[in-house]
Structure 1
Amino acid sequence: FKYKSYCWSLGTTSFRTENFNKSIEIQLNLLDVFWQLPQNTNQIWSGNNILQAHYYDFLKENNFVDGSASKKDKDARQKTSGLVNLGLIDDNRKLTSAGHRALEISKSVDFSIDNTLQISKDSFLYLKQLLKTSIAVENENVRPLIVALYLLSKHQVLNHDEFVYLLPLCINHKYTEQISDQISLLRNNKTNVNEIIVDRLLAMDNYSKALKWFLSLEKVSEREICKIGMNRKSPNYDLPYFGLYEALRVVFLNNKKDKASLIELYNAIKKLKLKSLWSKFIFGGKTIKEKRIKTHSQNILNATFFDNVSNESEFRVAFFKAMHLLKAKATLNDYADLNRRYLGLSNIFLFRDNKVELDIIPKHFFGSTIGELYKSAFVSNDKLQVDCELSEISPVLLANENTIISSINEEFGLSISTLDEAMSEYDRQRYTRFNELIDKKFSDEKIIDLLNKFENRNDGEIKEYVTNNADIPTIFEYLLGIAWYKISDRKGKILDYMKLSIDADFLPITHAIGGDADIVYEYDKSEFYPKHTLLLEATLADKTNQRRMELEPVSRHLGQHLLKTKNPSSYCVFATTHLDINVLSDFRNRKISPYYDTNDSKNKINGMKITALQTTELKTIIQNNKKYSELYSIFDEAYKADLNILEADEWYEKYIVERL
């Protein structure tokens, strides 16, 4: 019985990468360079295993892969296939016009908002590409983003299980309508996810025929179990299922639920590749221990298809359903992270609280257009590789300033009539949501905990908590920005001040090329300080790397800012986990070092104010609830201290550590 696909997925599991936006940008640039090499200019990708292997080696040379692939050509194809799906490169792995546009945005380091949907330039390009992207599933074409928009228009949100297990089952109009109806039943407790998946599989002829054949057998052996398993790699991968079949038969059909039989079942599950799924399905836990089975054998079993089976036929049906249900759930789980990453490129989705929904303006824009747009959900688009206008994808996708106004009015029940009013309300709502995120995810205690992890370089734990779509230095900048926002009593436009990309959930994104100063905080005049700008520069580099990497850019960023603004009150705080004394000394001595305009030596600044702050002291600031109104005078007093009296480390101890 031949395996047939029952779901769509975006990308390939071999390119399940962190820092997704950055990885796409880097690979587009590497492909562009690769094809310009003289030896590759006239080569053809398709069927050229040698060229593909050379591309893999090129990726290794540029530190994009680790070089451990046993089949370089295959890995090269897999690393690039997702970009083909998105229309950023063609089948020959050459950049398309859409790919060139994505690379152009990356190189410009300009990820500002220039569209009505209020998403960044790169996200808007990805949105257009995703709207055109179609996936072939068993002779069907499906455009995943449009299907997702359709289900969200019908149900407002999708919870975790609906997004992971049900959305990808929508491969044509018929199944999409069925899934939509079943989501309604699911929310009214009239069905469950397992039943929906099983019903979907059994509606396919290969599964229904396999079950019918399985029920007709007089005797079941390893061969028959492997045959109904429909394993895509090899039938032999399913050999361990025969032991499971026999153990389940004893426990449920022969009704032997004694300790020995349950331990035999437990041991049979341990031999499976999907042992955690089967353990949870049968025993209700992913990592159940043998000791627990021995002590709780009477009530250890979970409610399953196997309950109340009374004959051989019923048992075989239950086994067939369970086997393919858990295989399907494993596959869908495997694809879920990819689907989220690819759809997330558009930056129109909110992934929070185990739910998926659309951001305010995209929700109302697509809600008003989905009726017409959905008509093209199951046909491919011939403009996939073209950097086209939104309205060229579908005439119904005409967005203008009225889209923003109507979206805000519908969302919040207002009667705003101008774009300025709408944007003001939109901004207010964004900050409300951002502050809710801070309250929930970044309490003072949690920020201190994360700073400790940065100091100890527990990178995996940091990414797991914050996001894996940004690298550790970017997350450090982001956390510093949030901490400083709280220190500043949450005053100011911190989302603008942080010079990094933020997704719809207000989490950071890393790009291939960095920008200018990390955080540029604007302060209006108050009783505690004059009107000024604070440049917060963050680094995780230490010792000699810190000196090599940070001395020039930090002073350059502040120098250029001062030359431009002519405000001598503006200054810089250099924040790091481990402060190098030579870096500290150099920054301190910038007080008496002029900074020149490289294009006009007569235009200069006679000294700059740069102070340093180690995360040890940042934690002290947070623990003691010190606010910026107090910090400004501490930093100013430290700056004014005589350079000749104390050594750099003594100066830092007296004027920063002790004052804090």
Structure 2
Amino acid sequence: MEYKKIPYTSFMWKLGTTSFRTKEFNYKTERQLALLDAFWKNPDNASQGWEKKYMAPGQNDIYEIKVRYYDYLVDNGFMEGGEPWSRKYKTAREKTSGLYDMGLINENHRLTEAGRYLLELSTSLRYNEKTPIGISMDSMLYLEQLLKLSQKINGQTVRPLIVILYLLSRLDYLSHNEFCYLMPLCTDWHSTEHIISLTHRLRNREVTINQVITEVMMSKSNYAEGLRRFANMPFSEEMLLSVSMNRKSAAYDRSYVTLYKEMHSVYMEGDTSRIIPMFDSLKKFQQSISIKWKTMLFKSPVAARVKNNPEGNLRPLPVSATYTEKDFNAFFFVTMHLFKAKATLEDYQDLNKRYLGLTNCFIFDDKQVKLDIVPKHLFASPIDELYKQAYRKCHLLERKTSLAEICETLVFNEKDIIDGVSSELGTDIQTIEEAFDEVDKIRYDRFNKMIDTHFQNNTLLTLLDAFDKRNDANINRIVTDNADVPTIFEYVLGIIWYKVSGRRGKILDYLKLSLDANLLPVTHAAGGEADIVWEYPAVPAYPGHSLLLEATLTDKTNQRRMEMEPVSRHLGNHLLRTGNTNSYCVFVTTNLNVNVISDFMNRKNSLYCCPTNPDKYVEGMKIIPLSTRDLKEIIRQGIRYEDLYRHFETAYEANERHPQKWYDNYVCITGTDQAAISMKP
């Protein structure tokens, strides 16, 4: 019997596409805008269109320009090449899809007004400037664009960020399960209110996540129709494939036919000889779906254990699932689509986090997702007016707009921020400066907590080993994949020095890095200052001074070329600007080149002149070279900055002329206890 296939229709929104699940999200976005801008300026490309409707008579085939752009990305080191022609144009489309969704490029893939603004921020290094609400300039642009971004779900418009803000205004926070499985199901006013109601019940343990997803999914007409057919019609392969609703092709769902037959044999016919074949049938599913079935059907997901004791590892189905054939079929249909839905929702969770992370407004801690304190109170008052737009398309997406242009009530009101922060923290705040001081205290509390939980000494030692071996995958896993490894090296050095300094000093200001809302580093396309500038007020152990920390990851062959001149220039300019000759620099790397050591050692006896006024100069500069081996000893011994300062001063005053002997005998951190550092010559 032939069955008309029930079509798949989306029941969820998502941010981005899984085909562009990229590391270093900020960097890749800014870098690709610059590449696209340059690509279209090439006369050979300038008159070309991206989509067919833009192709003038006589122009190249629609696919050729995409292939040409693919090759351009490869030639400029944006990605690795090697794909066949038939795949190149698809990859080019995938790489640009996120830029188009956010309104940074138009349908013809030229930069929009919003895209040009972001590119200007990147190239001028203005992205890190702060806005009134405390987020960076580029984060504000992303916030504005995501507020305008909309999607079509079954013919209905939804603007996901506005929905998220509304959910948080009603629920205060989202657990990670709520964020992953429930938030994207809010596709219209009715479903959003229903999800809010179900979330309250979920938190009261009246329902489960599976029950909520199932209820929402089965309320859709196509799933309801599929359930009626599968529960009431005789089973056949054709019938199952007609209701499997695969987004690509029903052929991808043939594995469910085998699984159904094996489950029917085991649970409805009592044939225990089919337990192992039932387990083996799950090998054909993608891992995220396979493990869900294994968890439901077996006590252990390990094949050897199941095969050693099939009946002992078999879990029973709910009693209600095996009363009749109709009950079994209904249970199978619902479970099949529940697990598919959960796998899809899980697949997009990471992307949703990445896109929201661009705004620097959301905090993703170990248990919850919530708004940072100032954005929370920025949106508190206007949320009802803003929510009226949640299911309407915004026609301002490609323009650079202010928040007030998106929603006239969405303005920065100092009184609202002051009152909101004061109320939330239980303090008497009178000015916006006091409000941000309190917010700053919260940031440092969060930063210190993160160090205590995620950057303990053992973890820092593991990271330093990974930097030495350039185990980039492990570094990204431990810290973040939204920054490149050299940026993470600077960040980790900052954390180590914060500990060395007794957690004194404004490290979040001293780090010349972009940090996201979770206080983790972010890489930008145009780069920025490489220094960490630490300010030390005068104490009995040392005079007031600045310490410039320079971190680099280079091999022995290119270290001299890359680092000697910038380090001395940074310190020289700093000394000329501040006039404080007590300030100095510590240079940290994985491999110390002897000639780099020599150059830094001999800066003690050289002049550094102002480039525009040679009569203005500093006489002698203190630059101390350290290796990651030294950092490891500093961590292991728990050495304090007071002792390091004395140690560095002794090394600086030493008269040794051979650079390697100077480093080995005066600079290198050795010994087994803290006292050892003060026992050097």
Q: Could you tell me which amino acid in structure 1 is paired with residue 138 of structure 2?
A: D
1:69 deviation in Å?
Answer: 3.3
1:307 deviation in Å?
Answer: 6.1
2:269 counterpart of 1:254: yes
2:591 counterpart of 1:549: no
Residue of 627, 645, 663 corresponding to 1:652:
663
* Structure 1 residue aligned with 2:491: 478
SS in 2 for 1:473: helix
Find the aligned partners of 1:549 and 1:473 in 2 and give their Cα distance: 13
1:296 deviation in Å?
Answer: 5.0
* Structure 1 residue aligned with 2:30: 25
1:540 deviation in Å?
Answer: 1.3
1:656 deviation in Å?
Answer: 2.1
Aligned pairs for 1:254-653 within 5 A: 254-256=269-271, 258=272, 260-273=273-286, 274-283=289-298, 288-295=301-308, 297-298=310-311, 300-302=313-315, 308-644=321-657, 647-653=658-664
Aligned pairs for 1:194-209 within 5 A: 194-209=210-225
SS in 1 for 2:46: coil
Find the aligned partners of 2:246 and 2:662 in 1 and give their Cα distance: 69
Whether contact under 8 Å (2:246, 2:252) holds in the other structure is yes
Coordinate RMSD, CA, aligned = 1.6
TM-score normalized by the length of structure 2: 0.93
Aligned pairs for 1:109-128 within 5 A: 109-128=125-144
2:121 counterpart of 1:105: yes
* Structure 2 residue aligned with 1:96: 112
Cα distance per residue 1:134-175 (max 9 Å; x no partner): 111111111111111111111111111111111111111111
Find the aligned partners of 2:508 and 2:624 in 1 and give their Cα distance: 24
Aligned pairs for 1:165-176 within 5 A: 165-176=181-192
1:305 deviation in Å?
Answer: 5.5
Whether contact under 8 Å (1:112, 1:120) holds in the other structure is yes
1:18 deviation in Å?
Answer: 0.4
Whether contact under 8 Å (2:378, 2:413) holds in the other structure is no
Question: Does 419-428 or 356-365 show the bigger shift?
Answer: 419-428
Find the aligned partners of 1:603 and 1:613 in 2 and give their Cα distance: 30
Find the aligned partners of 1:398 and 1:301 in 2 and give their Cα distance: 59
Residue of 230, 250, 260 corresponding to 1:245:
260
Q: Could you tell me which amino acid in structure 2 is paired with residue 271 of structure 1?
A: K
Identical-residue share of aligned pairs (%)? 47
Aligned pairs for 1:53-64 within 5 A: 53-64=67-78
Find the aligned partners of 1:527 and 1:280 in 2 and give their Cα distance: 63
Whether contact under 8 Å (1:45, 1:93) holds in the other structure is yes
Q: Could you tell me which amino acid in structure 1 is paired with residue 185 of structure 2?
A: L
Cα distance per residue 1:618-655 (max 9 Å; x no partner): 111111111111101111111111143xx212111111
SS in 2 for 1:376: coil
Find the aligned partners of 1:641 and 1:262 in 2 and give their Cα distance: 77
Find the aligned partners of 2:377 and 2:25 in 1 and give their Cα distance: 27
Distance 1:301 1:466, change over 3 A: farther
Residue of 4, 7, 10 corresponding to 2:12:
7
Find the aligned partners of 1:264 and 1:142 in 2 and give their Cα distance: 44
Q: Could you tell me which amino acid in structure 1 is paired with residue 115 of structure 2?
A: G
Q: Could you tell me which amino acid in structure 2 is paired with residue 605 of structure 1?
A: V
Residue of 209, 214, 220 corresponding to 1:193:
209
Find the aligned partners of 1:634 and 1:340 in 2 and give their Cα distance: 45
1:221 deviation in Å?
Answer: 2.5
Cα distance per residue 1:377-431 (max 9 Å; x no partner): 1111111111111111001101133243123202201221122222222212211
Residue of 188, 195, 201 corresponding to 1:179:
195
Number of residue pairs matched? 653
Whether contact under 8 Å (2:624, 2:667) holds in the other structure is no
2:161 counterpart of 1:145: yes
1:508 deviation in Å?
Answer: 0.7
Find the aligned partners of 1:10 and 1:420 in 2 and give their Cα distance: 35
Whether contact under 8 Å (1:584, 1:648) holds in the other structure is yes
TM-score normalized by the length of structure 1: 0.96
Q: Could you tell me which amino acid in structure 1 is paired with residue 397 of structure 2?
A: L
Whether contact under 8 Å (2:321, 2:331) holds in the other structure is no
Cα distance per residue 1:545-593 (max 9 Å; x no partner): 2122211211111111111111111111011122122211111122222
Distance 1:101 1:240, change over 3 A: same
1:607 deviation in Å?
Answer: 2.3
SS in 1 for 2:44: coil
Whether contact under 8 Å (2:276, 2:310) holds in the other structure is no
Q: Could you tell me which amino acid in structure 1 is paired with residue 474 of structure 2?
A: E
Distance 1:635 1:379, change over 3 A: same
Q: Could you tell me which amino acid in structure 2 is paired with residue 450 of structure 1?
A: L
Question: Does 242-251 or 414-423 show the bigger shift?
Answer: 414-423
SS in 2 for 1:417: coil
Find the aligned partners of 2:153 and 2:285 in 1 and give their Cα distance: 28
1:306 deviation in Å?
Answer: 7.2
* Structure 2 residue aligned with 1:229: 244
